[in-house]
C-alpha cells in the first residue's frame, strides 16, 4: 500500500506498540503514519528519538486542535497546549515529518484555522495541516448537527478568510472524492510559501477532460497533474510527481535540492455520518479502515455508523 496509518484510540498505548511499528515498517508500505495525541512524544524520555529511527517514509499525524484552553477542554477534556507544543518542538529538533490534524467544531475552534495554518507553515517538521470537521460518531456528547456541524465549504471559506497564504484558486477539490476532500499544495521557498494548485484549471482535475492549463499548455501535463494530486501517493512519491509537474511549469522557482521537506499542504477532509450519509459519495471514499477481524476494507465514513 502507498500509505498506512496506525490509529486508535491512542496507538502508542498498545503494549506491543514498538513491535507493531517494526512489523509495519518491515512490510512493503511506501509511507507509514502514526496518529497520536503526542503525550508520549512530549513527556517520555527517548520516545521521539525512537520514532525518528523509523524515518524516512514515516510521519507523525499529530492532534493539534487549538491554541486555546477552552476549546481543548471542550474537544478533548484536557488542556493539552503544553503537550502539543513540546511534541512539535521535539519533532522539529529531530526532523520527523509531521502533519497537524485539527478536529473542528463550530463555535469552539473554527476561528483559529488561519492561525494554526500560519503557525504550522513556520515549523520545519510540519508538512501540512489536515482540517477535519467533526463527525458525529464515538464520544461526541451534546452534539447537535443543526448548530455544531461545519461543512467542507464553510471550512474552505474560513481558511481563505483567516490566512493569507492561499487564494481561492489554490484550494481545490481532490479528484478521487471531490465531495469530501479539498486540498492546496505549496512549496516552502526562501521567500515563504509558493502555492501550486492555483496554477491548474480545477475543471481539468474534476472532470478529467479537456487540456486547458492556467499558465501553459504542455503535452503530457494533464497526466502529471492527475499523478501529482492522486491520494494513492505516499508523500515521497507525491513529491516526485510534483517535481515532474514543476518541470512543466518553468514559471515556478524551485528550491535547490527539492524534497519532501519543501512540501506544505492543507487538506480539508469531511467524513460523513448518519446525518448526511450519501451512498453515491461514500462509494468514492479515499480513506479506509482495515477491519481487525476479517481484514475487510471499510470506508472510514461507514465504519462507526
- Asked whether 223 and 230 are in contact (CB, 8 A), the reply is no
Whether 191 maps to a domain, the answer reads: yes
- Condensed to tens digits (0 to 9), the pLDDT of residues 158-206 reads 999 999 999 988 888 776 767 778 888 888 877 788 887 776 665 655 5
Dihedral sign (CA 42, 45, 49, 53): negative
Task: Identify whether the C-beta of residue 241 lies closer than 8 Å to the C-beta of residue 226.
Answer: no
Who contacts 51 (Cβ-Cβ below 8 Å, separation ≥6)? 34, 41, 58, 60, 94, 96
Mean residue pLDDT across the chain: 79
What average pLDDT score do residues 243-247 get? 56
Query: What range does the domain containing 126 cover?
Result: 3-196+264-303
Q: How far apart are CA 51 and CA 45, in angstroms?
A: 12
pLDDT at 97: 93
153-to-131, 168, 180, 302 alpha-carbon distances in Å: 12, 11, 10, 21
Contact 161, 153 (CB under 8 A): no
Cα–Cα dist 270/273, whole Å: 10
C-alpha 132/C-alpha 147 separation (Å) is 17
Question: Within a domain: residue 108?
Answer: yes
3-state secondary structure of 247: helix
Domain assignment of residue 83, yes or no: yes
Q: 11, 38 in Cβ contact below 8 A? A: no
3-class SS at 168?
helix
> What pLDDT was estimated at residue 98?
95
Contact 130, 102 (CB under 8 A): yes
Cα(282)–Cα(300) distance, integer angstroms: 9
State pLDDT tens for residues 122-167: 999 999 999 998 876 656 667 777 777 888 899 999 999 999 999 9
pLDDT of 216 strictly over 80: no
Instruction: For strands 181-189 and 58-63, give the pairing.
Output: unpaired
Residues recorded for the chain = 305
**CB distance 116 to 101 below 8 Å:** no
Q: How confident is the model at residue 271 (pLDDT cuts 50, 70, 90)?
A: confident
- Does residue 187 lie within any of the structural domains? yes
Mean pLDDT throughout 85-111?
95
- Tell me, yes or no, whether 28 lies in a domain: yes
Domain contains 9: yes
pLDDT at 280 (0 to 100): 65
Assigned domain for 41 exists: yes
Number of domains composing the chain:
1
Q: Is the pLDDT of residue 220 over 60?
A: no
pTM value is 0.79
Task: Residue 30: give its domain's CATH number.
Answer: 3.20.20.70
CB atoms within 10 A of CB 222: 20
Q: Is residue 215 part of a domain?
A: no
User: Which of the four pLDDT bands, split at 50, 70 and 90, describes residue 213?
Assistant: very low
Amino acid at each position: 500500500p502507498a500509505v498506512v496509518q496506525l490509529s486508535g484510540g491512542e496507538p502508542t498505548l498498545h503494549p506491543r506498540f514498538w513491535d507493531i511499528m517494526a512489523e509495519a515498517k518491515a512490510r512493503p508500505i511506501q509511507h507509514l503514519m502514526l496518529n497520536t495525541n503526542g503525550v508520549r512524544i512530549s513527556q517520555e524520555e527517548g520516545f521521539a528519538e525512537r520514532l525518528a529511527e523509523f524515518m524516512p517514509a514515516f510521519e507523525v499525524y499529530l492532534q493539534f486542535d487549538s491554541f486555546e484552553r477552552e476549546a481543548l477542554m471542550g474537544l478533548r477534556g484536557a488542556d493539552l497546549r503544553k503537550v502539543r507544543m513540546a511534541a512539535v518542538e521535539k519533532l522539529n529538533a529531530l526532523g520527523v515529518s509531521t502533519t497537524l490534524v485539527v478536529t473542528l467544531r463550530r463555535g469552539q475552534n473554527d476561528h483559529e484555522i488561519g492561525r494554526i495554518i500560519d503557525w504550522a507553515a513556520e515549523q520545519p517538521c510540519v508538512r501540512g495541516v489536515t482540517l477535519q470537521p467533526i463527525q458525529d460518531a464515538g464520544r461526541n456528547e451534546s452534539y447537535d448537527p443543526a448548530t455544531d456541524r461545519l461543512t467542507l465549504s464553510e471550512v474552505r471559506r474560513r481558511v481563505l478568510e483567516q490566512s493569507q497564504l492561499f487564494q481561492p484558486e489554490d484550494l481545490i477539490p481532490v479528484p478521487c472524492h471531490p465531495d469530501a476532500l479539498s486540498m492546496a499544495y505549496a512549496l516552502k521557498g526562501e521567500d515563504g510559501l509558493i502555492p501550486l494548485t492555483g496554477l491548474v484549471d480545477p475543471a481539468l482535475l474534476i472532470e478529467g477532460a479537456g487540456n486547458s492549463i492556467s499558465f501553459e499548455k504542455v503535452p503530457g501535463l494533464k497526466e502529471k497533474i492527475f499523478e501529482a494530486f492522486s491520494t494513492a501517493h505516499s508523500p515521497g512519491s507525491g513529491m516526485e510527481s510534483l517535481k515532474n509537474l514543476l518541470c512543466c511549469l518553468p514559471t515556478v522557482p524551485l528550491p535547490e535540492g527539492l524534497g519532501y521537506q519543501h512540501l506544505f499542504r492543507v487538506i480539508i477532509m469531511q467524513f460523513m455520518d448518519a446525518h448526511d450519509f450519501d451512498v453515491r459519495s461514500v462509494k468514492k471514499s479515499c480513506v479506509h479502515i482495515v477491519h481487525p477481524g476479517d481484514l475487510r476494507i471499510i470506508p472510514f465514513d461507514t465504519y462507526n455508523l
